[in-house]
Structure 1
Amino acid sequence: MRKLLTLTTAIGIGATGSAFANESVMSGIDDPSQWVIQTGDYKNQRYSELDQINADNVGDLQVAWTFSTGVLRGHEGGPLVVGDVMYVHAPFPNTVYALDLTDNGRIIWRYEPQQDPDVIPVMCCDTVNRGVAYADNKIFLHQADTTVVALNAETGEVEWSVQNGDASKGETNTATVMPVGDKVMVGISGGEFGVRGHLTAYDIETGEQVWRAYSMGPDSDTLMDPENTTHLGEAVGVDSGTATWEGDQWMIGGGTTWGWYAYDPEENLVYYGTGNPSTWNPAQRPGDNRWSMTIMARDADTGMAKWLYQMTPHDEWDYDGVNEMILTEQEWEGEERKLLTHFDRNGLAYVMDRVSGELLSAEKFDPAVNWTSGVEMDPESEDYGRPMVVAEYSTEQNGEDVNSTGICPAALGTKDQQPAAYSPKTELFYVPTNHVCMDYEPFRVSYTAGQPYVGATLAMYPAPDSHGGMGNFIAWDNKAGEIKWSLPEQFSVWSGALATAGDVVFYGTLEGYAKAVHAETGEELYSFKTPSGIIGNFMTYEHDGEQYIGILSGVGGWAGIGLAAGLTNPNDGLGAVGGYAALSDYTALGGQLTVFKLPDSE
C-alpha cells in the first residue's frame, strides 16, 4: 500500500486537462529524489541537487545492488525512478521492468514486446534503445520497430500503441521520447537507409497523431511559415525544404531525428537536431540539403517551426546534428539571456539565443578538428553562419572513389549522442568526447527501399599528435569558448555524464569503469569497473534518506558494434570495427544495472 500511495502521489492520479502530463513530469523534475526523465530535466542539464554524495565522500562509494537485463547488446539510456518504483529498459527486444525499491528490487511487472527480429539488420549501429519516458501514470516505450507503446505505470498493461514508421523501408528507432503538455514527442531513425526524418507529436491519452514535422520537403510537410520561420534572422522563403535539393532527392533525404529533445515551457518551444542527408556520397546530392544537420525550434502545440539553423550544409562527413540541446540562463556579454548550447558531431560547440535563434558562438571543442577552419561569424558576409571547409579534407572535392585521409573528427563525431551535463554551480559543461579521425572514400550508390543507402567506405583511428587514446572527458566553458580541463581516456567516452550539487561529475568508459571526478578540477575521486563497457547514462535518486547513483553497463553502440555484433572486418560497422578492435582486450558483452551508495553509517 505504501508503494502504491507514493507512486500515485508522485504522478498525480486524478488530475485532468491538458496540463496534467506536463505537471506530472514537472513535479517529478522539481523533486530531486526522483529521476522522471532520461535527461534529468527538460533543459537536458543532467544535473541533480542531491549532495549527500559529494567530493569529500564519493571515494567511499560501494555497490548497493545490481540487476541483470538478460540482454547482451549495447545498453544506452538509463533507468527512471518515480516514487518507489524504478523502470529499467533493455536493448532489442526492448523489455521493460518495473522494480519495487521498497522490496529489494522485486519485479512488479515486466513488458516483453514481440518484435520481428528482421528489424535488427536494419538498425545501422547496434540494437540500442535510449530509454523509456514517463507522464500521466504511463510509461512510454518507442520500440526498435517504431511501435510507440503507452504502458500503465502500475500494472504494465498496454493502454495504447501506434506505429510511427515502417521498418521495411529502413525506418527504425533507437531514441527515447519526450512528454510535453498533453503530447509525447517521437523521432525516427534510419538515415543510412534513405529515410526522410520527422518529429511527431501523439496525444498522451489516446495515441492519436496531433502533428508531424518532416525535416525536408514542402512547407506543408516541414511545418514552416515562409515569412515567419527564420534562419539566422532571415525568413526561410517558400519551400526551403526542397529548394536546395536536386529533383526529388529530398524524398529520401535523411535528416532523421534519433537524438535528444529539450523543451522550454515559458516559450513553449521544443528543440532538437536533425541528422545526415542521404546518401553519404555528397556528389549525388548537390546543394545545401536543407534541413538536414539542423537545430530546430518548434511550437509544442502546433509543430510550426519558429527558427532553425543549419550547422553543416551539404554534409560531406556524416556529422549528424542530433546531439542534445542544453538550455541555460546565463549572462552573455553583460546581458542575461536564454541560451542553447549544442556540442555537435562536427566538433563545434554552438551557443545560440534559444528565443530568437541568433548564433552567438561556434568554437572547436577538440583542437584536432581540421575539416573546417571555423564558422564565419560576420553577419555582413554572404557566408555568415557557414563553416569554412578546408579543401584537403573535403570528401567531395577529392571526388568519388578517392580516399580522403586524415579527416578529424571521424564520422562518429567529436561527440556522438552520449549526452553532456551542465552544473549551474560551476557554469561548466561536462562533455564525453571521441578523439578519433578517419579516411573517407565516397562511391556511387543507388536507392532501394529497405536497403543500406550509404555510399562511402570509412576507416577510423586515434587522432594523431595526441595522447594516443581515442577519447577525452572535458569541462567546457561556453562563454569563453574553451576547455577548462581534459581527462584523456584510452577509448572514446561513450557514456552520458551526470553533474551534482555535491561537486561531483560521473562518467563511464568503454572498458567499463564508472568514474567520479571533481567538478572544479577534474581530479579523479572514484573508479569502479562494472561487468561490461559503459555506454549508458548516469542518473541519481534518493530513497529512504539515502542517495544512489545508477548506471547501465553493456558494451555496444557504434563504437562497440564489433563486439556487440561479432564483426571482424575493419571496415564494417561504418568504419568503427577496425578503430575499436582493441576494445575486446578489455571488456566483454554484458547487460547490467549497477547501483552505488555510501556505506551505512555506524
Structure 2
Amino acid sequence: MRLSAITCGIGLLVAAVGPAVANDSVVEATKNPQNWAMQQGDYSNHRYSKLDQINTDNVGTLRTEWSFSTGVLRGHEGSPLVIGDTMYVHTPFPNIVYALNLDDNEKIIWKYTPKQDPSVVPVMCCDTVNRGVQYADGKIFLYQADTFLVALDAKTGKEIWKVKNGDPKVGETGTSAPLIVKDKVIVGISGAEFGIHGRLTAYNISDGKLAWRAFSTGPDKEMLIDPEKTMSLGKPVGADSSLKTWNGDQWKIGGGSTWGWYAYDPALNLIYYGTANPGTWNPVQRAGPGGKPIDQKWTMTIFARDPDTGMAAWAYQMTPFDEWDYDGINEMILADNMDIKGEKHNVLVHFDRNGFGYTLDRKTGIPLVADKFDPAVNWATSIDLDPNSADYGRPVRVASKSTFKNGQDFNTKNVCPAALGSKDQQPASYSPMTGLFYVPTNHVCMDYEPFKVSYTAGQPFVGATLSMFPAPGSNNMGNFIAWDASKGKIVWSKPEEFSVWSGALTTAGGLACFGTLEGYFKCVDQKDGKELYKYKTPSGVIGNVFTYEHKGKQYIGVYSGVGGWAGIGLAAGLTNPTDGLGAVGGYASLSNYTALGGSLTVWGLPS
C-alpha cells in the first residue's frame, strides 16, 4: 500500500500499537523513495534518493511543473516534506506551515500560522530562517523562532501539544529542524552570539514532556557526561572536563549552541550533532589564567549521545579556544564500510566551518582523516592525527592568523576561511553510487578585529568586527565540490560566483543538484561536475534540493528566497559593510542579481 493520506496509513497504525514504534514510522516513510520524509533524506543524512527517472541523459529537458508562493520574504532554508500524496511546506518567521494535496492541484489542505511575538526577530542572529518541519507518528513537528516546539496533527493541522524550549529574552531562538528518534523529538537551541547556554533537549512525542536535556558546557551532571565512560580520542574525559577549561564561570554564558543537522545510527543507538562557538567572539575575554589560551570545552565539538538517556558516549573538539567563530554545527553524515588505508570503518563525515573535512570512526569518535576541503584555508596547516603526539587531534595553527597575541586583541588580516566557514549549515550529500560527498562551499576570507564587549542578557555578545571578501587570487566566492572522505581529497571542483548556500541532493540518476545565491537551480554529473541543467528561480536559493515521486512521475524542487547569513544584507536591508557580522560588504554585489522572494519551484520531465 502506498504511503498516501499520511495519517490514514502510518498514522493510524502507530496510534493503534503505541508510541514504541514511532521510530518505525520514520523508517518506513524514508524507505519509500517516492517520499521525501525527512529533511535529511534519511537518518544517515545522505540526502540521496533512489529515484532515477530524471537522470544524466534527460535532465536537460526538465521543465517547471508548478510553483507555490509561501507569502513570506527573507531566507528560505530547509525543504518541504512529502509523505504519500501530501506535501508539507514551511516558511521563515512567522513559521507558517502549509499542507498541500498533490492529488488536487496542490490545493491547500490546511494552514497553521503560529502566534509569535515579533520581538524575537531582533535576536535572530543571521536572518529569520527555519530549517524545516519533521514527521513521525502521524504528527508534523514545527520548531518555531520563539523556541516553542509544536506537534500538529498531520491530517488536520490541529495543534496537539506545544512546549517552550528556551527564552528569546536572553537571546535564545529556534531555527533548526528537529530529529525524531524512537519515541522522542530532539531539538537544539540557537543564540551563541547572545551568550546563551547551549544544549540539546529531548521531548516525548506523545505528550511533549521533557525527557532529558544535555548542556554543551558546565558540570558533568548537567552535560550528561560520565567522567569514566564518556570518551575523547580514546580516553575517558575525566571529571569536570568542561569546567577545567573555562575561566571561572564564563561557561554559563559560553555559547555552544546546537542549531545544525543531526544524524542517528540505529545499530549503535547513537545520535550525532555539533556544538557552536564559545561566547564572546573576543578570545582575550575568554583567556585562562595568565591570559593564555584555554580549550573551552565542549564548544566546537562533535558529540555522540544515547537518544534514550542523553548520556554522552564520546566527544571530539575540533577547534579548541576558537578565535574565528568556526562553529561545529554542520551536518554529520554516516557512511558504512569505508576503506581507509586498507581497513574498513563505519564512519561519520563532517565538513566543519574551520575548513577541514573530518572522517571519524563513529563508534569511538577517533579521527581517521582530516584535510582541507578548500585549499584557501590558512589559519591552520593540518590536524595532528598522531596518537603519540601531545597535540593529538588538535589543529596545527598558523601563528600569524591568530586574533589573540600576547594576551591582547589583534586585528588579523586575510584569515581563511571567514567566520561563516568553508561551509555553513547548507548540507552536503553522499552518493553510494560513487562513494563521494557533494559539498556546497564558501571560498571566502576575512579581516577580524576583536573588541571588548560586556554581557547583558538579550543583547549581542559578539565582540568582533569583520570584513569579508573572496579568497585572495580568485574572483569566485564559492565552489561545489566532490570529496573523497577516505583520502581527504577534492575529486573535482566547480567554481561559483557566490557561496553555494543551498543544500545538495544526489540521486540514482547520477545527478548532484544544488542552488546558487543568484537564484539558479543547477544539476551536474556526479562523476565529473559537468553542468547539465540550470534554471533561474525568482530569488536566491539557500534552500535544500529535494525530490519525490507522485503518480509514477519524479519531481525535483527547491525553495527560493534569498537570505541567511550570506544574504542578510538583502534580507534585512542592511548596507554598512561590517553589518551582518561582516557579510554585508562581502556579498554587496548580490543585489545586482536577485531580490527578496519566497517561493517553491518544482520541476519534472515533459509528459
Q: TM-score, normalised by structure 1?
A: 0.98
The match for 1:455 is: 463
**DSSP-derived class of the 1:280 partner:** coil
Cα separation, 2, equivalents of 1:242 and 1:399: 21
What are the Cα deviations for residues 96-138 of structure 1, in whole angstroms up to 9, with x where unaligned?
0000000000000000001011000100100000000000000
The match for 1:128 is: 129
Contact 2:282 2:409 in 1 (8 A): no
Contact 1:187 1:257 in 2 (8 A): yes
Contact 2:10 2:137 in 1 (8 A): no
Cα separation, 2, equivalents of 1:410 and 1:391: 17
What is the CA-CA distance between 1:299 and the residue it aligns to?
Answer: 0.3
Whether 1:194 aligns to 2:195 is: yes
Say which is worse superposed, 8-17 or 330-339, in terms of deviation: 8-17
What is the CA-CA distance between 1:8 and the residue it aligns to?
Answer: 2.1
Contact 1:436 1:470 in 2 (8 A): yes
Contact 2:385 2:392 in 1 (8 A): yes
What is the CA-CA distance between 1:42 and the residue it aligns to?
Answer: 0.4
Contact 2:178 2:187 in 1 (8 A): yes
Contact 1:7 1:83 in 2 (8 A): no
Partner letter of residue 594 of structure 2? T
Select 2:512's aligned residue among 505, 514, 519. Answer: 505
What is the CA-CA distance between 1:401 and the residue it aligns to?
Answer: 4.9
The match for 1:440 is: 448
Whether 1:385 aligns to 2:386 is: no
What are the Cα deviations for residues 472-491 of structure 1, in whole angstroms up to 9, with x where unaligned?
00000111211111000100
Contact 1:29 1:36 in 2 (8 A): yes
What is the CA-CA distance between 1:402 and the residue it aligns to?
Answer: 3.1
Cα 1:527–1:307 shift into 2, 3 Å: same
Partner letter of residue 509 of structure 1? T
Partner letter of residue 369 of structure 1? V
Map residues 198-209 of structure 1 onto 2, 5 A cutoff: 198-209=199-210
Cα separation, 1, equivalents of 2:572 and 2:463: 22
What is the CA-CA distance between 1:437 and the residue it aligns to?
Answer: 0.2
What is the CA-CA distance between 1:234 and the residue it aligns to?
Answer: 1.0
Cα separation, 1, equivalents of 2:480 and 2:408: 35
The match for 1:469 is: 476
The match for 1:150 is: 151
What is the CA-CA distance between 1:21 and the residue it aligns to?
Answer: 1.2
What are the Cα deviations for residues 55-79 of structure 1, in whole angstroms up to 9, with x where unaligned?
0000000000000000111000000
Cα separation, 1, equivalents of 2:274 and 2:3: 38
Cα 1:225–1:78 shift into 2, 3 Å: same
What is the CA-CA distance between 1:19 and the residue it aligns to?
Answer: 3.1
RMSD of the alignment, in Å?
1.1
Contact 1:400 1:441 in 2 (8 A): no
The match for 1:294 is: 301
Contact 2:404 2:410 in 1 (8 A): no
Whether 1:53 aligns to 2:54 is: yes
Cα separation, 1, equivalents of 2:69 and 2:584: 26
Cα separation, 2, equivalents of 1:250 and 1:399: 20
Map residues 292-331 of structure 1 onto 2, 5 A cutoff: 292-329=299-336, 330-331=338-339
Contact 2:492 2:528 in 1 (8 A): yes
What are the Cα deviations for residues 491-526 of structure 1, in whole angstroms up to 9, with x where unaligned?
000000000000001000000000000010100000
The match for 2:81 is: 80
Contact 1:400 1:444 in 2 (8 A): no
Say which is worse superposed, 325-334 or 366-375, in terms of deviation: 325-334
Cα separation, 1, equivalents of 2:240 and 2:410: 34
What is the CA-CA distance between 1:197 and the residue it aligns to?
Answer: 0.5
What is the CA-CA distance between 1:333 and the residue it aligns to?
Answer: 2.6
Partner letter of residue 330 of structure 2? N
The match for 1:9 is: 9
Contact 1:400 1:443 in 2 (8 A): no
What is the CA-CA distance between 1:353 and the residue it aligns to?
Answer: 0.4
**DSSP-derived class of the 1:405 partner:** strand
Contact 2:6 2:138 in 1 (8 A): no
Partner letter of residue 242 of structure 1? L
**DSSP-derived class of the 2:404 partner:** coil
The match for 1:20 is: 21
Cα separation, 1, equivalents of 2:36 and 2:256: 30
Cα separation, 1, equivalents of 2:392 and 2:545: 38
Cα separation, 1, equivalents of 2:605 and 2:478: 29
The match for 2:596 is: 589
The match for 1:354 is: 362
Cα 1:5–1:538 shift into 2, 3 Å: closer
Cα separation, 1, equivalents of 2:155 and 2:6: 11
What is the CA-CA distance between 1:414 and the residue it aligns to?
Answer: 0.1
Cα 1:20–1:58 shift into 2, 3 Å: same
**DSSP-derived class of the 1:240 partner:** coil
Select 1:542's aligned residue among 533, 549, 563. Answer: 549
Partner letter of residue 121 of structure 1? P
Partner letter of residue 520 of structure 1? K
Contact 1:472 1:492 in 2 (8 A): yes
Cα separation, 2, equivalents of 1:7 and 1:447: 47
Cα separation, 2, equivalents of 1:553 and 1:562: 16
Cα separation, 1, equivalents of 2:402 and 2:574: 29
Contact 1:324 1:342 in 2 (8 A): yes
Map residues 424-435 of structure 1 onto 2, 5 A cutoff: 424-435=432-443
Cα 1:5–1:531 shift into 2, 3 Å: closer
Cα separation, 1, equivalents of 2:164 and 2:455: 24
Partner letter of residue 312 of structure 1? T
What is the CA-CA distance between 1:399 and the residue it aligns to?
Answer: 5.9
The match for 1:490 is: 497
Cα separation, 2, equivalents of 1:393 and 1:456: 15
Map residues 81-96 of structure 1 onto 2, 5 A cutoff: 81-96=82-97
Whether 1:137 aligns to 2:138 is: yes
**DSSP-derived class of the 2:17 partner:** coil
Cα 1:152–1:432 shift into 2, 3 Å: same
Cα separation, 2, equivalents of 1:405 and 1:318: 15
**DSSP-derived class of the 1:202 partner:** strand
Cα separation, 2, equivalents of 1:234 and 1:5: 50
What is the CA-CA distance between 1:276 and the residue it aligns to?
Answer: 0.1
Partner letter of residue 581 of structure 2? L
What are the Cα deviations for residues 190-217 of structure 1, in whole angstroms up to 9, with x where unaligned?
0000001000000000000000000001
Partner letter of residue 386 of structure 1? R
What are the Cα deviations for residues 365-415 of structure 1, in whole angstroms up to 9, with x where unaligned?
000000001111111111000001101000011764531100000000000
Q: TM-score, normalised by structure 2?
A: 0.97
What is the CA-CA distance between 1:357 and the residue it aligns to?
Answer: 1.2
**DSSP-derived class of the 2:242 partner:** helix
Cα separation, 1, equivalents of 2:519 and 2:8: 36
Q: Where does structure 1 lack aligned partners over 5 or more consecutive residues?
A: none
Contact 2:14 2:25 in 1 (8 A): no
Cα 1:399–1:139 shift into 2, 3 Å: same
**DSSP-derived class of the 1:593 partner:** strand
What are the Cα deviations for residues 330-363 of structure 1, in whole angstroms up to 9, with x where unaligned?
2223333210000000000000000111110110
